[in-house]
């Protein structure tokens, strides 16, 4: 286990005010080693990449490609050519949907789940609506918020082109059975896409172990800068896929009559990339590797277990998802009886500067499947302390009094 008090000193956002930040599933704070890289780029480099033949531009390109290599190593990819930098996880999924629309020779179904974030529903929904070759179908989720494996198997068929599902639910924190889901899909000759936005910040995702075809995640949920997403794709698949955007650097040559695409991954990275963010993301990966993902998960699991234990003792609080252990990620979604999540979130902020998320969390189908109008969500990360969980529980009790739940 790492020293949380020492870790907290690395985060300037925690020095500005006494905030209990429990909205890490939305975005994480950024440590100084990462912001230092951002500043260094703008103060010392400031050049573009892949084009200049002068020393400073070559150094900038070297640092960017080093971050790509670190990203590949972080997930165990065969090559850095399998790492495409995008704007965010959402754009990565949109890129895949566009490419499937224009590339796949198969006709048939795209399977998503009722558990998915809107980012892994809407791109496929838009793609299917604009095509006469594809149909979007949802895999059911059980009342306790787990993917219905029987329904999944029943809906896999010879005309299933791809399945897309989250590694971890951003609402209930449930880790899904990625290996089993992937094997069933591959046995059906179906491609597998995993939304890893909530998995990668806390737990090792090794490509050879999980054997997925595509993986997406975002830098800003794992101590990195905003404006940067990552798409992993098997190189042979990326080679066959058409790019969704046109512009500089993504072509090898173009004339009035013909265009030849560049090699992967540049084929998918049109125009000047987010250079500073990519370089800084390498520093974020260094930081996480130094902490150790196993230690990160152990720390976050401990906070989650404590939160579940304390909140479950508060009258009127209902908690959703797995109760503890390996099946649950680092967040707790709950409701306080008689209090709308928006009202509760505003009250916690007012009572003790506690920041949680409230609403549908861009996952309306899951809320509908679980017959919920909205939920409150507290999510934890490397700089959160046990004392902050105590403050959360006390503030919820105080809010309960305010809203008339306790005389």
Catalytic site positions: 362
Distances (CA, A) of 162 to 178, 202, 234, 242, 370: 14, 26, 14, 17, 25
Contacts of 32 (CB under 8 A, 6+ apart): 10, 11, 12
Report d(CA 382, CA 6) in Å as an integer: 11
Report d(CA 356, CA 310) in Å as an integer: 16
Report d(CA 234, CA 314) in Å as an integer: 48
Report d(CA 174, CA 144) in Å as an integer: 10
Report d(CA 145, CA 176) in Å as an integer: 10
Report d(CA 345, CA 355) in Å as an integer: 7
* Region class of 105: left (phi > 0), else alpha (psi between -120 and 50), else beta: alpha
3-state secondary structure of 243: coil
Burial class (CB in 10 A: 0-12, 13-18, 19+), 296: buried
Report d(CA 340, CA 317) in Å as an integer: 12
Contacts of 330 (CB under 8 A, 6+ apart): 24, 25, 173, 202, 297, 300, 301, 303, 304, 379, 380, 381
């Amino acid at each position: 286990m790492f020293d949380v008090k020492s870790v907290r000193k690395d985060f300037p956002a925690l020095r500005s005010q006494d905030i209990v930040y429990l909205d890490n599933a939305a975005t994480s704070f950024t440590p100084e080693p990462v912001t230092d890289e951002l500043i260094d780029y703008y103060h010392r480099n400031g050049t573009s990449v892949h084009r200049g033949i002068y020393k400073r531009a070559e150094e900038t390109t070297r640092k960017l490609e080093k971050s790509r290599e670190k990203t590949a190593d972080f997930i165990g990819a065969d090559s850095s050519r399998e790492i495409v930098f995008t704007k965010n996880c959402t754009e990565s999924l949109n890129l895949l949907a566009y490419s499937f629309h224009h590339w796949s020779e198969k006709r048939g179904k795209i399977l998503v789940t009722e558990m998915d974030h809107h980012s892994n529903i809407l791109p496929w929904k838009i793609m299917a609506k604009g095509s006469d070759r594809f149909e979007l179908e949802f895999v059911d989720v059980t009342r306790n918020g787990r993917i219905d494996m029987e329904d999944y198997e029943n809906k896999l068929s010879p005309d299933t082109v791809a399945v897309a599902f989250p590694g971890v639910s951003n609402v209930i924190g449930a880790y899904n059975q990625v290996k089993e889901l992937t094997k069933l899909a591959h046995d059906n000759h179906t491609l597998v896409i995993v939304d890893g936005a909530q998995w990668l910040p806390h737990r090792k995702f090794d490509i050879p172990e999980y054997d997925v075809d595509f993986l997406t995640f975002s830098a800003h949920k794992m101590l990195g800068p905003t404006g940067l997403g990552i798409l992993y794709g098997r190189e042979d698949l990326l080679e066959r896929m058409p790019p969704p955007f046109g512009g500089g650097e993504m072509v090898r040559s173009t004339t009035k009559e013909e265009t030849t695409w560049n090699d992967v991954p540049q084929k998918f990275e049109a125009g000047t990339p987010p250079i500073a963010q990519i370089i800084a993301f390498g520093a974020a990966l260094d930081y996480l590797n130094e902490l150790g993902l196993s230690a990160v998960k152990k720390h976050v699991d401990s906070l989650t277990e404590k939160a579940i234990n304390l909140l479950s003792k508060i009258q009127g609080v209902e908690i959703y998802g797995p109760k503890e252990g390996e099946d649950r990620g680092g967040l707790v979604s709950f409701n306080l009886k008689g209090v709308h999540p928006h009202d509760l979130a505003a009250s916690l902020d007012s009572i003790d500067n506690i920041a949680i998320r409230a609403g549908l969390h861009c996952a309306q189908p899951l809320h509908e499947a679980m017959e919920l109008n909205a939920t409150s969500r507290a999510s934890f990360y490397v700089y959160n302390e046990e004392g902050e969980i105590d403050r959360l529980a006390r503030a919820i009790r105080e809010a309960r009094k305010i809203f008339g739940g306790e005389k």
